[in-house]
Structure 1
Amino acid sequence: MARGGIAGITGAGVGALAQFLLVVVVTRALSADQAGGFFTATALALMVAGVAKLDAGTGLIYFIARAKTYDYRGISGYIRAAVAPGAALSLAASALLYPHLGPLALALPFVVVADVLLAATRGFGTMRPTVLLDGVLLPVAQLALVGAVAFTSPAGLLPGSSDGHDEQVTGPLAAAWGVPYLLLVVLAAASLRGRVPRTPYLPGTGRDLWRHTAPRSAAGAIQAVFQRLDIVIVALLAGPAQVAVYTAATRFKVVGQLANQGLSQAAQPRLVRAMAEGDLTRARELYQVTTMWLVLLTWPVWLGYALLAPWLLRVFGTGYGDAVPVALVLAATMMVATACGMVDVVLISAGHTTSSLANLLAAVGFTVVLDLALIPTQGALGAALGWSGGALLKNLLPLWQIHQRYGLRPFGRHSLTALRFRSWAAA
Structure 2
Amino acid sequence: MSTSTRDRIVRGFKATLVSRAVYMLSSALLMFVLARTLNPDGYGALYWAIGILMVVQLFADLGLGKSTARYISEYSEKDAGQIPYLLRSAIAYKLIVLAVVAYALLLFHDRIAIALGDPDAAPLLAAGVLFVVANSFSGFSMMAFQGLNRLGYSAAVQAISGAARLVFAVAFVLLGFGALGALFGYIVGYAIAGTFGVAVLYFKFYRTYEPAEAYEQGLSRRLAEYSVPLTATRSANVIDKRLDVVLVGFFLPSAAVGFYQLGKQVVDFVLAPSESLGFTISPNFGEQKASGQLEQARRIYEEALTHTMLVYVPAAAGLVLVAEPFVMLVFPQYGGAVPVLQVLAGFVVLQAITNLTSDSLDYLGRARHRAIAKGVTSVANFALNLVLIPTIGVVGAAIATVATHTVYVAVNLYIVHSELSLRVRRLSRSIGTICGITLVMAVAVWLVTPLVSTLPMLFGAIGLGVATWAVLAVASGLLDPGEVRAALASGSS
* Smaller-chain TM-score bracket: 0.7 to 0.9
Alpha-carbon deviations, 1:123-142, whole Å to 9, x = none?
222111111221x1111211
Query: Are the equivalent residues in 2 in contact too, given 1:288–1:411 (CA < 8 A)?
Result: no
User: Could you say which residue in structure 1 is the equivalent of 2:161?
Assistant: 138
State the Cα distance separating 1:69 from its structure 2 match.
6.4
- In structure 2, give the amino acid aligned to 1:42: I
State the Cα distance separating 1:299 from its structure 2 match.
4.3
Query: Are the equivalent residues in 2 in contact too, given 1:87–1:112 (CA < 8 A)?
Result: no
Alpha-carbon deviations, 1:68-87, whole Å to 9, x = none?
46942221111122223233
Determine if the alignment matches structure 1 residue 110 to structure 2 residue 134.
yes
Query: Are the equivalent residues in 2 in contact too, given 1:103–1:175 (CA < 8 A)?
Result: yes
Q: TM-score, normalised on structure 2?
A: 0.76
Determine if the alignment matches structure 1 residue 363 to structure 2 residue 377.
yes
Query: Are the equivalent residues in 1 in contact too, given 2:235–2:375 (CA < 8 A)?
Result: no
| Aligned match for 1:62, one of 49, 65, 70 | 70
Q: Paired residues, what number? A: 412
Query: Are the equivalent residues in 1 in contact too, given 2:275–2:352 (CA < 8 A)?
Result: no
| Aligned match for 1:81, one of 51, 74, 89 | 89
Query: Are the equivalent residues in 2 in contact too, given 1:291–1:340 (CA < 8 A)?
Result: no
Alpha-carbon deviations, 1:237-283, whole Å to 9, x = none?
11211000111122122135433331122111111122233322111
Q: Which moved more, 1:310-319 or 1:171-180?
A: 310-319
| Aligned match for 1:328, one of 334, 342, 356 | 342
Please state whether the residue corresponding to 2:150 is helix, strand or coil: coil
User: Could you say which residue in structure 2 is the equivalent of 1:164?
Assistant: none
Q: Which moved more, 1:385-394 or 1:415-424?
A: 415-424
- In structure 2, give the amino acid aligned to 1:146: A
Query: Are the equivalent residues in 2 in contact too, given 1:288–1:410 (CA < 8 A)?
Result: no
Q: TM-score, normalised on structure 1?
A: 0.87
Q: Cα RMSD over matched residues? A: 2.7
Please state whether the residue corresponding to 1:347 is helix, strand or coil: helix
CA distance in 1, matches of 2:214, 2:139: 22
Alpha-carbon deviations, 1:141-198, whole Å to 9, x = none?
1111111122231xxxxxxxxxxxxxx5333222121112221122112222232337
User: Could you say which residue in structure 2 is the equivalent of 1:158?
Assistant: none
- In structure 2, give the amino acid aligned to 1:152: L
State the Cα distance separating 1:410 from its structure 2 match.
7.7
Gap runs ≥5 in structure 2: 1-8, 110-121, 431-476
Query: Are the equivalent residues in 2 in contact too, given 1:246–1:326 (CA < 8 A)?
Result: yes
User: Could you say which residue in structure 2 is the equivalent of 1:302?
Assistant: 316
Please state whether the residue corresponding to 1:320 is helix, strand or coil: coil
| Aligned match for 1:178, one of 168, 187, 194 | 187
* CA 266–426 in structure 1, closer or farther in 2 if over 3 Å, else same: closer
Equivalences for 1:214-293 in 2 at 5 Å? 214-293=228-307
Q: Which moved more, 1:84-93 or 1:74-83?
A: 84-93
State the Cα distance separating 1:359 from its structure 2 match.
0.8
Percent identity of the aligned residues? Answer: 22
Higher helix share: 2
Please state whether the residue corresponding to 2:336 is helix, strand or coil: helix
* CA 322–68 in structure 1, closer or farther in 2 if over 3 Å, else same: closer
Query: Are the equivalent residues in 1 in contact too, given 2:160–2:192 (CA < 8 A)?
Result: no
User: Could you say which residue in structure 1 is the equivalent of 2:112?
Assistant: none
* CA 109–239 in structure 1, closer or farther in 2 if over 3 Å, else same: same
State the Cα distance separating 1:219 from its structure 2 match.
1.7
Determine if the alignment matches structure 1 residue 24 to structure 2 residue 47.
no
Alpha-carbon deviations, 1:274-312, whole Å to 9, x = none?
223332211111111222332344445434332221122
- In structure 1, give the amino acid aligned to 2:291: E
| Aligned match for 2:413, one of 378, 388, 399 | 399
* CA 215–254 in structure 1, closer or farther in 2 if over 3 Å, else same: same
State the Cα distance separating 1:31 from its structure 2 match.
2.6
Gap runs ≥5 in structure 1: 154-167
Query: Are the equivalent residues in 1 in contact too, given 2:59–2:101 (CA < 8 A)?
Result: no
Larger Rg: 2
- In structure 2, give the amino acid aligned to 1:58: K
CA distance in 1, matches of 2:148, 2:479: 25
Query: Are the equivalent residues in 1 in contact too, given 2:328–2:335 (CA < 8 A)?
Result: yes
